[in-house]
A and B are shown apart, each in its own frame.
Chain A
Amino acid sequence: MSTTVDARGLSCPQPVLDTLTAIQTTRDNTITVLVDTEASKENVTRAVQGKGWRVSNLEENDGEYSLTLTKS
Chain B
Amino acid sequence: MKNHFASKWGIIGVGAAIGVLAALLQKLGNPGNMGICVACFERDIAGAFGLHRAGVVQYLRPEIVGFVLGSCGAALAFRDFRPRTGSAPFVRFVLGIFAMIGALVFLGCPWRAMLRLAGGDMNAIFGLLGLIAGVYVGTLFLKNGYNLGPAKKTHPAAGLLISLIMLGFLALALIYPQIEGQPKNDILFYSLKGPGAMHAPFVISLAIGLGVGILAQRSRFCTMGAFRDLILFKQTHLFGGVVALIVAAFLANLAMGQFHAGFAGQPVAHTQGVWNFMGMVLAGLAFALAGGCPGRQLFLAGEGDGDAAVFVFGMIVGAGFAHNFGLASSPKGVGPHGIAAVIIGLIVCLGIGWFMRKQRA
Instruction: List the interface of chain A (C-beta within 8 A of B).
Output: 8-14, 16-17, 20-21, 36-39, 42-43, 46-47, 63
Contact = CB atoms under 8 A, between A and B. Distances in A.
Nearest to B358: A14
A16 B232 CA distance: 10
Contacts of B86: 9
A36 B333 CA distance: 45
B6 interface: yes
A13 B220 contact: no
Interface string B283-325: 0000000111000000000000001000000000000000000
Give 5 nearest A-B pairs by CB, closest first.
A9-B150, A11-B291, A9-B151, A12-B291, A39-B220
B87 interface: yes
A11 B151 CA distance: 8
Interface of B: 3, 6, 78, 80, 82, 84, 86-87, 142-143, 147-153, 220, 222, 225, 228-229, 232-233, 235, 237, 290-292, 307, 360
Nearest to A18: B147
A16 B291 contact: no
Contact of A12 (B149, B152, B292): B292
Contacts of B153: 36, 63
A47 B233 contact: yes
A36 B81 CA distance: 11
B311 to A, nearest CB: 10
A40 B204 CA distance: 33
Contacts of A8: 150
A14 B87 CA distance: 13
A13 B232 contact: yes
Nearest to B75: A38
A42 B3 contact: yes
A13 B84 contact: no
Given A20-B233, A38-B80, A13 B228 contact: yes
**How would you classify the secondary structure of chain A's contact residues: helix, strand, loop or mixed?**
helix
Given A11-B148, A42-B3, A42-B220, A17 B82 contact: no
B6 A42 contact: yes
Contacts of B78: 38
B156 to A, nearest CB: 11
A10 B88 CA distance: 11
Contacts of A12: 222, 225, 291-292
A17 to B, nearest CB: 6
A21 B237 CA distance: 20
Given A10-B150, A11-B151, A13-B225, A46 B82 contact: no
A16 B84 contact: no
A20 B233 CA distance: 9
Contacts of A38: 3, 78, 80, 82
B87 A46 contact: no
Contacts of B3: 38, 42
Contacts of A11: 87, 148, 151, 290-292, 307
B82 A13 contact: no
A9 B225 contact: no
A46 B235 contact: yes
B84 A36 contact: yes
Contact of B82 (A10, A36, A42): A36
A16 B233 contact: yes
